[in-house]
Amino acid sequence: MNKEELKNVLPHREPMLLVDESHLEGDTTYSHYHVRGDEFFLQGHFPGKPVVPGVILCEIMAQSSAMLMAEALDGKYPMYAGMDGVKFKRAVVPGDTVNVKATLLVHRGPLFIVEAEASVDGQMCSRGKLTFMLIDKEKHS
């Protein structure tokens, strides 16, 4: 799926729609995001030496993970319920392409647990176990 097709699944919109492309293979999704250098989250982080914040890497992994919930997202938002064992191993800078592999571990009702790993040029930059709860769009205001 390209960015426009992703908008049919994800509730995110620019500037917070961070995944450029994604495809699903069974219980695993593969996505990527190219860091252009003009993103809002790089302004001031850090002057003269921009680095993608860890929280943004987690969001890229979360958006990739949400593709695993596509069939259950109608009328719902995927919300973080937890992050376990999240590690950051490599800085991500402008010009890098972040590749995410996210695998569904558990799905029970509105609860989804996903193992996600983000890498650049084959080097892991972040990973963790992400837990999501689907909530009704009407109840979230």
pLDDT the model gives residue 139: 81
Residues 68/24, Cβ–Cβ less than 8 Å: yes
Report d(CA 8, CA 6) in Å as an integer. 5
pLDDT tens, position by position, for the chain (141 residues)? 999 999 999 999 999 999 999 999 999 999 999 999 999 999 999 999 999 999 999 999 999 999 999 999 999 999 999 999 999 999 999 999 999 999 999 999 999 999 999 999 999 999 999 999 999 998 875
Cis peptide before 46 (omega within 30 of 0): yes
pTM above 0.85, yes or no: yes
pLDDT at 72: 95
Q: List domains and CATH numbers for the chain.
A: 3-136 (3.10.129.10)
pLDDT value of residue 82: 98
Which letter does DSSP use for residue 53 in this model?
A: -
Q: Which residues are catalytic?
A: 45
Q: Give the pLDDT score at 138.
A: 87
What pLDDT, on the 0 to 100 scale, is given for residue 141? 58
**CA count, 13 A, side-chain hemisphere, 40:** 6
